[in-house]
Amino acid sequence: MTEDVETSSESSPRDARLREKIGWICQAVRIAGVVWLLWGIAQSLWVWTRRADFIDKALKNYGIDPATISDFNYWLAYSPVLVTIAFDAFMVSRLWLLVRGYLKGDIFSVEAACRLRTVALAGFAATAVSAIARPMQFALMSPTLLTRLSPWQLILPETLLYALICGFLLALAAIFKAGAEVAEENRQFV
């Protein structure tokens, strides 16, 4: 991870001190992103491989005969999860690139703000796909199940929280970009 930290001759001692102060935070964010992604994959695998438990506990609560769900429908219902995992992985890769830029000293620039914006947009996309995937899973597993769930069971509170966080990051990216553009204009005048 030390290969990500670069110092240039143009870098000021103040920038070096800033990178030194945020280095551990950047590494923690990287690790947290990867752990979050791997946790989601592990959780999905755990559910996938426990078909009998899932069907007995979840479907019987809604009065659906577990025998009506074929193996094909059960496994097909997890195809939206694979798409969700792909979007989540893309978002984590954008987060990784953002933090790598910070570690290189590119913190208060238009490019850094654009990378933050990309993280926010990738997060919005991952959140939207996740919100769509949940009802799709139920519909693919058993159309009857989808009709027996109330709307609050289809969209989880975490989904709204993720959207809120992404909205905040998008606003922060716009603020950082505007600030970087003003700073660049001021540098040109001096």
Which pLDDT tens digit goes with each residue over 51-64?
888 777 777 777 77
DSSP character string of 62-100: GT--GGGS-HHHHHHTTHHHHHHHHHHHHHHHHHHHHHH
Please, are residues 149 and 64 in contact by the beta-carbon 8 Å criterion? Answer: no
Listed in sequence order, the residues at least 6 apart from 22 whose beta carbon sits closer than 8 Å to its beta carbon are: 102, 107
Q: pLDDT digit string (tens) for 101-111?
A: 999 888 889 99
**21, HSE (Cβ side, Cα atoms, 13 Å):** 7
For residues 91 and 83, what is the distance between their CA atoms, to the nearest angstrom? 13
**125, HSE (Cβ side, Cα atoms, 13 Å):** 16
Looking at the predicted structure, is the pLDDT value of residue 130 above 90? yes
Please, are residues 51 and 3 in contact by the beta-carbon 8 Å criterion? Answer: no
Q: In terms of pLDDT, which residue wins out, 159 or 64?
A: 159
Tell whether pTM > 0.85.
no
Q: pLDDT digit string (tens) for 81-90?
A: 999 999 999 9
Looking at the predicted structure, is the pLDDT value of residue 47 above 70? yes
Please, are residues 32 and 40 in contact by the beta-carbon 8 Å criterion? Answer: no
141, two tokens = 């597993």
Looking at the predicted structure, is the pLDDT value of residue 3 above 70? no
Listed in sequence order, the residues at least 6 apart from 181 whose beta carbon sits closer than 8 Å to its beta carbon are: 110
For residues 109 and 111, what is the distance between their CA atoms, to the nearest angstrom? 5
Q: Structural domain boundaries of the chain?
A: 10-189
Looking at the predicted structure, is the pLDDT value of residue 9 above 60? no
pLDDT at 11: 61
